[in-house]
Amino acid sequence: MSDFHVLGYRLRLTGLLRLETALRVGSGLTDEISNTDIAVIKDDQRRPYIPGSSFKGALRAHIERLVRLVEPDAPGYGRGACNPVNRHEWCITSGQMDILRQNPETLDDQVYQFSCRVCRVFGSPWLASRVLVKDLLLAEPELWFERRYQVRHGVGIDRDSETASRGLLYDYETVPAGTEFRWEIIIENANREEVQDGLVIWGLHEFANGRVRLGGGRSRGLGWVTLIFDDQAEEVDAGDRTALLQYLQTGKGRPVGRDTVLARAATFAQVLARQGG
């Protein structure tokens, strides 16, 4: 849920996600994968794609881990990262929210104030997300039929004996190494003082460095990915009338070079180091 009615500042980032090793195909059932995992599922033509929500979840979880390293203390007031998976560890719990609701006129401000660094950007049950991740589709769908899924054999582990047990053999499919997907992320109305766009780019940059593995079956060496930024991103600043009119006429924003985009991540890292130290 994002507030796309009010256009202030929008940054659109695009690029490629390349599989360095095979990525496991899931059925899309949530109990199969943890929130840090990314699911590859099949579209109605049986081609693989990565749901945007899944990629966003993995990106968020990765950013949370990094932010907690620098700001480990109680998350809130624009710092740290709460645990969205456990409702008792939210930066604003349901109980606190009930109290804040008693003052409707200050509610929005208070919610923003109390929210942690990551919720302020990625959203929470009480706060809209500023990050929109589109589904990642095959970069070259016409080549898919030459690649195809690969079938692998898995061995179930007996939970009691922690050994491979008979009868727990199963097959699963993977998308082969070398497959590329297109990604597109839109950041809406980032607070530029807090370098909120930089936080997202900072997280993506870790993926770019190949430091992140995605998907189930990590113990089997699956899920290494590299993320590549396109040469240019695109921005629309509604405060800049000329740029806005051009955008409304052409649907295209102003190009922003990759170096400028990556510089935002560096700026964010500096802000974090200064405030977290």
Identified binder of Zn ion from the candidate list 25, 61, 111, 119, rule CB under 5 A: 119
**C-alpha gyration radius of the chain:** 21
What are the tokens at 240?
């800049």
Backbone dihedral angles phi then psi of residue 48, each to the nearest 5 degrees: -75, 145
- Residues 200-219 close enough to bind Zn ion by CB under 5 A: none
Binding mask 74-103 toward Zn ion (x if CB under 5 A, else -) reads --------x--------x------------
Smallest distance, Å, CB 124 to Zn ion? 6
How far apart, in whole angstroms, are the C-alpha atoms of residue 247 and residue 234?
10
- Residues 193-213 as b/e (b if ≥16 CB within 10 A, e otherwise) read ebbbbbbbbbbbbbbbeeebb
CB nearer to Zn ion: give 116 or 233. Answer: 116
Taking CB under 5 A as the binding criterion, the range among 51-59, 110-118, 142-150, 211-219 that sits at the site for Zn ion is 110-118
How far apart, in whole angstroms, are the C-alpha atoms of residue 194 and residue 197?
9
- Please report the DSSP string for 33-50 in residue order: S-TTS--BEE-TTS-EEB
Size of residue set near Zn ion by CB under 5 A = 4
61 binds Zn ion (CB under 5 A): no
Instruction: Say if CB 67 and CB 78 are below 8 A apart.
Output: no
What is the number of residues in the chain? 277
CB nearer to Zn ion: give 50 or 116. Answer: 116
Taking CB under 5 A as the binding criterion, the range among 40-48, 109-117, 213-221, 258-266 that sits at the site for Zn ion is 109-117
CB nearer to Zn ion: give 112 or 172. Answer: 112
Smallest distance, Å, CB 190 to Zn ion? 17
Smallest distance, Å, CB 91 to Zn ion? 3
What are the tokens at 151?
């079938």
Smallest distance, Å, CB 75 to Zn ion? 6
What are the tokens at 50?
């990565």
Q: Which residues contact 18 (CB under 8 A, 6 or more apart)?
A: 178, 179, 180, 225, 226, 227, 228
Smallest distance, Å, CB 37 to Zn ion? 21
Taking CB under 5 A as the binding criterion, the range among 37-45, 112-120, 198-206, 226-234 that sits at the site for Zn ion is 112-120
What are the tokens at 162?
């922690």
What are the tokens at 91?
């930066």
Smallest distance, Å, CB 88 to Zn ion? 13
Smallest distance, Å, CB 235 to Zn ion? 27
Interface residues with Zn ion (CB under 5 A)? 82, 91, 116, 119
